[in-house]
Amino acid sequence: MKLTKFGHACVRVEKDGKVLVIDPGTFTRDPVLDGADTVLITHEHYDHVDVEKLKAASPELEIWTCEAVAANLAEVPGKVQVVRHGDDFETAGFQVRVFGEWHARNHPDIPVVQNVGFLLDDELFYPGDALTVPQAEVGTLLVPTGAPWLKLGEVVEYLREIRPARAYSTHDALYGELGYRLVDGWLKMEADKQGADIRRIPVGESTTLS
């Protein structure tokens, strides 16, 4: 699988000529859906789903997401399918398992929304806006590193609980240059401690998961 980091919380995964995109939100300015076969959406927040992007996409596009997001996609031409914790399905040649139900607690006055995480080909896990620990081994983790609901200590504890061979930063557009230096430093310390490939992939760059 080839993994490419797009803006903030969006990644594009390619395998055998097929393209899967996760969480193409409004912070992602690039034409990330060009050539996409399927989209996975973890939850309803605008930085993870851009309805206008989906409206303009091909009607052949498959969209897999939780019930709350699906309810807002009535005008989207693609095929929208609802998934829940414990489900598994195949799309565009990818085997996908679903873990998690709820977004991390954010603000006392903001309701907690549905949030599902996706495990691709028993290798790549994307938790969305939660620190979900799936009941499965994870080779590659996309780890959130910047959010109002998140603390550095929680990121480190999450990495140590999952102990992936590879972990790459996501949910990090809120940082500026100095913030990215901090993230890079934190991830390098944990990479050295665990002897793993833990780092931030700059937007637009790719890595191959063997």
Please write the tens of the pLDDT for every residue from 54-92: 999 999 999 999 999 999 999 999 999 999 999 999 999
Residue 53 confidence (pLDDT) above 80: yes
pTM of the predicted structure, to 2 decimals: 0.96
Tell me the pLDDT tens digit for each residue of 5-19: 999 999 999 999 999
pLDDT (tens digit per residue) in 104-156: 999 999 999 999 999 999 999 999 999 999 999 999 999 999 999 999 999 99
Please give the C-alpha separations between residue 135 and each of 13, 40, 65, in angstroms, as whole numbers.
22, 20, 20
- Which pLDDT score is estimated for 69? 98
pLDDT at position 193 = 97
Asked if 23 and 1 count as a contact pair (C-beta separation under 8 A), the reply is no
Decide if 22 contacts 11 (C-beta within 8 A): yes
Least Cα distance to 147 among 3, 2, 4, 25 occurs for: 25
Can you give the pLDDT at residue 30?
A: 80
Q: At residue 188, what are phi and psi to the nearest 5 degrees?
A: -65, -40
164 and 196 Cβ atoms separated by less than 8 Å = yes
Q: Which two tokens stand for residue 190?
A: 């944990």
